[in-house]
Structure 1
Amino acid sequence: MDSRAFIESLQQPPTRPVYLFKGAEPFLMDQAWQALVEALGRSVKTGRIKGERFSAKDVSAADVAERLRTLSVFTPLRVVLVRDVEAWTKDQREILHGYLRKPNPRSCLVLSVAPKKAWKELERLVQAHGAVVDFKGLNERQIPSWVRDRAASQGKRISLTTAGLLAAKVGTDLQALERELEKLSLYVGDRPEILDGDVDAAVAHRHSDNIFKLMDYVGEKRPAEAFLCLRGLLQAGDAPLSILALLARQVRLAWQVKDGLERGQTVAQLAKTLRLPPFVVEKHARQAQRFSHQALGALHSALLHVDLRLKTTALDPEKALESLIYRFCT
């Protein structure tokens, strides 16, 4: 099941004695963990319990199993999260397997593993008594709906268009988006809705805006502005390879949008195909007007070539980027 289905399942007890969290989306995992602890808390007289978190690098499987089996009057139910269980050795894994074959029904064990690090026996044993939950990162088209739901949880309304604007400024990092939503909630005060103007006023421009600007400057052949923009990205801590990847993605999207529009597709159709909010497609369409198909193809090939050289030679990353920008601005 996915994270949404998992949280929904907690509304109807009983919970399972063991879960396996798989994925690389820590914010969604943390949300699911908190929801589980709250759900289990509702099943005890006090109405709350305290979850325990460990890393497999700091605790043994035997210690975890012992904690889960040992309850008392003061601890009628125990819930334990162990991260990075792939770090346990073969002997440690065998101890874990022994517990999973007969888990304590009055305890709840949550195991967390990185993507593609779970092993077959682990998944099989967890499935026998519990559930495996996949935490996949959200794509750009899913982000606006997620932002809208998170805003609602904070007592605010935000349209999908405005949520898309926020995502375009901040990116797809859910923790960063959550922080910006909290700031926006404080910014609008008692007003129930977050508007485009609030996002423009309260949210700082991130790398996505600067990458758009850099592409615009290249298309307009304005080398001075392009170099200043590139320098700003580097000084902000963006790695050269990351900038190259973002530029290559920007070129691909502009190229796809340009081609699609020339073939008669609408913005709505392209948004569905590319899994992007419509207003983002419109931005790419405006930018694509500055480039011919030949120019986009040449720029994309050059970006891939520099990327390969950076990964396989001792080429200076910043000089390589500057040379590339200069080549296409003149």
Structure 2
Amino acid sequence: FISAHREQLEIYLDRPSPSGTLILLVNSLDSRPRLPKKIPTVGQVVSCKAPSGAELVRWITDAAAGLGKTIDRQAAGMLAQWVGENLASLRSELDKLASYVGQRTSITVDDIAAVATTSASPEAFALSGAITRGDVRAGLEAVGAAMRTRGAEFQLLGQVAWRIRQALQVHQGIAAGQSPRSAMQNARIFRDQRDFEALLGRRPAKKLQADMRRLISADLAMKSGTPPKAAMQQLIVELCS
């Protein structure tokens, strides 16, 4: 619409209606042409992009405050990790947590562990834990249980990739001078930290980078006709070795 009517819109912005409101919904807005530069002079540009990372943690903190509760950075990060970036789901979980804690003013990690609903399957989390511990048998059992559902391999791959990225982030943090505990918290690792430290000892950064290449190869193999279960099993054996 904007591309087709750019000239008319520019004319309108020179003399906008004093009693009407024009709302344009766009997926992206190139700031280089004249039109986007004119908009802030007579109106405003509002980004509706969902927050992520540190912004998402702040959103959770603010949303909890709106319910009369406090939630520290560690607990907010854990909730974001478990639920994901869907704001409606996060708000639903916060409402549930606020009811659960009752008269208490703070929401803790233990509260989240008790009542929050994770967006990932139990098998995906079991697989992540098995990789962290280097437990081949548990990893293969998790793959076997998850692969009963069509398309589950892609959720498992996402969980494995997420765990590898976390480990790489912690290695980078430690290399930059952070303590292992601080680096893990910054990577949103709040549970089983001893197991994760053991993972870091087994998988230095170069090996984790090789693990990511193995994951990409497994993804390509499945998309090229390799049976998903066989590809996932081979990947898990390699990652846990």
TM-score range, shorter chain: 0.7 to 0.9
1:101-250 paired onto structure 2 within 5 Å: 101-115=14-28, 120-207=33-120, 211=124, 213-218=126-131, 220-231=133-144, 240-250=153-163
Amino acid of the residue matched to residue 305 of structure 1? S
Structure 2, gaps ≥5 residues long: none
Instruction: Compare CA radii of gyration and give the structure with the larger one.
Output: 1
Matched positions, count: 240
Hey, what does 1:322 align to over in structure 2? Answer: 233
Hey, what does 2:214 align to over in structure 1? Answer: 302
**How far did 1:203 drift?**
0.7
Give the Cα separation in 1 of the matches to 2:70 and 2:150. Answer: 33
Q: As a proportion of its length, which structure holds more strand?
A: 1
Give the Cα separation in 2 of the matches to 1:276 and 1:161. Answer: 10
**How far did 1:280 drift?**
7.2
Hey, what does 2:203 align to over in structure 1? Answer: 292
- Cα deviation digits, residues 98-146 of structure 1 (max 9, x gap): 4334221223223221135788344133233112233444332333222
Amino acid of the residue matched to residue 291 of structure 1? R
Mean CA deviation greater in 176-185 or 231-240: 231-240
- Cα deviation digits, residues 191-228 of structure 1 (max 9, x gap): 33323332121112342986554233235454442234
- Specify the SS of the correspondent of 2:75: helix
Amino acid of the residue matched to residue 170 of structure 1? V
- Cα deviation digits, residues 218-260 of structure 1 (max 9, x gap): 3545444223433555567875345324422321321442465
Q: As a proportion of its length, which structure holds more helix?
A: 2
- Could you tell me whether the CA contact under 8 Å between 2:69 and 2:107 is conserved in 1? yes
- Could you tell me whether the CA contact under 8 Å between 2:184 and 2:193 is conserved in 1? no
Give the Cα separation in 1 of the matches to 2:85 and 2:73. Answer: 15
- Cα deviation digits, residues 250-293 of structure 1 (max 9, x gap): 21321442465478531476369xx5457479578435246232
TM-score (norm 2): 0.75
Change (3 A) 1:126 1:231: farther
- Could you tell me whether the CA contact under 8 Å between 1:257 and 1:285 is conserved in 2? no
Change (3 A) 1:289 1:119: closer
Give the Cα separation in 2 of the matches to 1:236 and 1:157. Answer: 38
CA root-mean-square deviation = 3.8
- Could you tell me whether the CA contact under 8 Å between 1:267 and 1:282 is conserved in 2? no
Change (3 A) 1:159 1:259: closer
TM-score (norm 1): 0.58
Change (3 A) 1:314 1:168: same
- Specify the SS of the correspondent of 2:231: helix
**How far did 1:95 drift?**
4.8
Amino acid of the residue matched to residue 126 of structure 1? I
